[in-house]
Structure 1
Amino acid sequence: MSVLGIDEITYGVEDLASCQRFFSDWGLTLVSEQADEVIFETLNGCRVILADINKAGLPPAIESGSTVREVVWGVECSDDLQRYAERIARDPGFVEGDGRIGCTDPNGLAIRFQVSKKRDIDIACTPTNTWNVKGRINQASPVYDRAIPIEVGHVVFFVRDVLACEAFYNARFDFRASDRYPNRGAFMRTADEGGHHDLFMLQLPDGRIGLNHVAFTVRDIHEVFGGGMHISRCGWTTEIGPGRHPVSSAFFWYFKNPAGALVEYYTDEDQLTGEWQPRDFEPGPTVFAEWAIAGGIDGNTRRQKNIDAPQGKFLTDKPKN
């Protein structure tokens, strides 16, 4: 019995047209479009729903303005769904029907569970050559013009009580702790075996709650770069990146999102098993990023933003005067 990951994210947004343009640039596939709701999909069928902030039936927001209103998690089978329903039947906001169960988590967020609708897909990925493993022979690494995200890989929230939230997701849905900021942050994965985290919750000193970011998995570091530079060319703003997280080992690039907070392209996170023992970290800039580029890379010059592009055909060209 296990949760397989995120199946669907719903945003309530103030500017639907701008958000639709952003996620189209981000690389998602448009599924349907209505006056008050737009639905996108990733490659494996994970859905991103953009709903007008005043649309009837949206779950309550945990913060003002545009933000995530609901997270839907996918499970393996209907038996799993029934077991989870029994565990949460007395929790606040319990709902059941139309193939879904759900409740409200300790942070006030609407969460739902369904038998996963994501598709199994076969994606060609280019191997990496290390010193002792040569996985790529007579083959160049790709250069991407843009990213096409595979799935929504994880979501990150600011929470009032991280210990209560971690205990809730573990007891109700068997989420596992991967690493922690003691009494401040919890990285959790949905099962013993899987990527480093599907959910990260961070408790701020001022007690503020809300969305931090939604992260989209891509094939490799080259797609992080190509996707990020495409978003830059489209005129959207980098928050920070590209860079690399020491905690999960993942490469990242964060952008400001008109639908709320930030979005991230990421790849190459640690894969864990039940033998993994959670580590404790003291939060800080060097724990967040081993390295990162402030302001991002400009998609036209292919250099750090606000840095002049080379003037000659070769980097060794010198100005003639």
Structure 2
Amino acid sequence: MQILGIEEITFGATDLAKCRQFFLDWGLALVAEADQELVFECMNGCRVVVAHSDKPGLAKGFEADPTLREVVWGVTSQGELDQLRTQFQALPDFYDADQRIGCTDPNGLALRIQVSQKRSVDVVCAQTNTWGQHNRINQPSPAYERAQPIEVGHVVFFVTDLAATSAFYEKYLGFVVSDRYPDRGHFLRCAPQGGHHNLFLLQLPQPRAGLNHVAFTVRDLHEVFGGGLHMSRCGWDTELGPGKHPISSAIFWYFNNPAGALVEYYTDEDELTADWQAREFTPGPTMFAEWAIKGGIDGHTRRQKDAEAPTGRFMTDKSKN
């Protein structure tokens, strides 16, 4: 049995109109709309649901709304789902309906699993020229006016018991620890081979359960920049970025999300195999970001927010005095 990745996430929120505009600007496709629920899709069919906090049947939250209420993970086949059904029957709040099985994880989050419904996508990504290796010849790098996320790549939660929550995902879903902040955080991937992490669990000095952020995979670093600049032009607030994570190597840009906490565009994370040996790091600013811009880049001036707008002169066109 192997978890393939995130199939769907559900937010609980009250300002659905604001959330609707945010995720449209973010680059998702609105595929269904009702009075108490919005359903969006990424390029590969990974779904983002925003439900009104009062919607009947909405999974119980692990913190006050707006926040994430439910995460659905995918498996390859019905046989794998049936295998998990047997394992999950004794777990808290066992769920078996709508072709999904699930439970409540040790952190209080509703967890569901289904046979994957995601589609294969064929996208053209930027090629990079490095010293001695030229992958892009007679072709400029792409530029994007906005982003179109491929999928939800990972979720990050604050947890009340790091050891118990990490052990749960390792035991019941087969997750593998990629790297650690000892006694503070675990980066976990769905399978021995895959991207650096699909789940990051973080225990604060005063532990609490909650959402830190949801991360959306885009095709390349140029799309991180194009998407971030578009969100800036639309008036949405940057929390941090663009920047680069030293642990996963990913390029990122974080925005404040009206549906809860933060959302992230990211790309170029490390690809790991079963040969990878988990490392240990001490938490700190330089471990979170190798470099980053606080407040983002203004989408109109293409300069750091609140910086002087460009004049059109060359940078060296200045008086010698």
| Cα root mean square deviation, aligned | 0.9
Aligned positions of 1:191-206 closer than 5 A = 191-206=191-206
What residue is the counterpart of 1:237 in the other structure? Answer: 237
Aligned positions of 1:114-153 closer than 5 A = 114-153=114-153
Q: Report deviation, 1:313.
A: 4.1
What residue is the counterpart of 1:80 in the other structure? Answer: 80
What residue is the counterpart of 2:35 in the other structure? Answer: 35
What residue is the counterpart of 1:20 in the other structure? Answer: 20
- After superposing on structure 2, the runs of 4+ consecutive aligned residues of structure 1 that deviate more than 4 Å are none
What residue is the counterpart of 1:53 in the other structure? Answer: 53
Q: Which amino acid aligns with 1:176?
A: V
Q: Give per-residue Cα distances to partners, 1:39-67, cap 9 Å, x unaligned.
A: 00000000000101110000101001200
What residue is the counterpart of 2:310 in the other structure? Answer: 310
Aligned partners of 1:312 and 1:318 also within 8 Å:
no
- Hey, what's the Cα distance between the residues in 1 that align with 2:178 and 2:122? 27
- Hey, what's the Cα distance between the residues in 1 that align with 2:57 and 2:33? 18
Q: Secondary structure at the match of 1:307?
A: coil
Aligned partners of 1:170 and 1:176 also within 8 Å:
yes
Q: Secondary structure at the match of 1:3?
A: coil
Q: Report deviation, 1:84.
A: 1.3
Q: Secondary structure at the match of 1:31?
A: strand
Q: Secondary structure at the match of 2:305?
A: coil
What residue is the counterpart of 1:70 in the other structure? Answer: 70
Q: Give per-residue Cα distances to partners, 1:187-218, cap 9 Å, x unaligned.
A: 00000110000000000111121000000000
What residue is the counterpart of 2:167 in the other structure? Answer: 167
Aligned positions of 1:271-310 closer than 5 A = 271-310=271-310
Q: Give unpaired runs (5+ residues) of structure 2.
A: none
Q: Which amino acid aligns with 1:264?
A: E
What residue is the counterpart of 1:217 in the other structure? Answer: 217
Q: Give unpaired runs (5+ residues) of structure 1.
A: none
Q: Secondary structure at the match of 2:129?
A: coil
- Hey, what's the Cα distance between the residues in 2 that align with 1:232 and 1:116? 34
- Hey, what's the Cα distance between the residues in 2 that align with 1:80 and 1:273? 22
Q: Report deviation, 1:9.
A: 0.5
258-267 vs 81-90, which moves further: 81-90
Q: Give per-residue Cα distances to partners, 1:266-314, cap 9 Å, x unaligned.
A: 0000000011010011100000000000110000000000001122343
- Hey, what's the Cα distance between the residues in 2 that align with 1:100 and 1:173? 14
Q: Report deviation, 1:225.
A: 0.5
- Hey, what's the Cα distance between the residues in 1 that align with 2:44 and 2:72? 15
Q: Secondary structure at the match of 2:102?
A: strand
What residue is the counterpart of 2:154 in the other structure? Answer: 154
Identity %: 63
80-89 vs 170-179, which moves further: 80-89
What residue is the counterpart of 1:255 in the other structure? Answer: 255
- Hey, what's the Cα distance between the residues in 2 that align with 1:83 and 1:209? 29
Q: Secondary structure at the match of 1:45?
A: coil
Aligned partners of 1:236 and 1:255 also within 8 Å:
yes
Q: Which amino acid aligns with 2:245?
A: H
Q: Which amino acid aligns with 1:184?
A: R
Q: Secondary structure at the match of 2:134?
A: coil
- Hey, what's the Cα distance between the residues in 2 that align with 1:198 and 1:276? 16
Q: Report deviation, 1:318.
A: 4.1
- Hey, what's the Cα distance between the residues in 2 that align with 1:250 and 1:281? 17
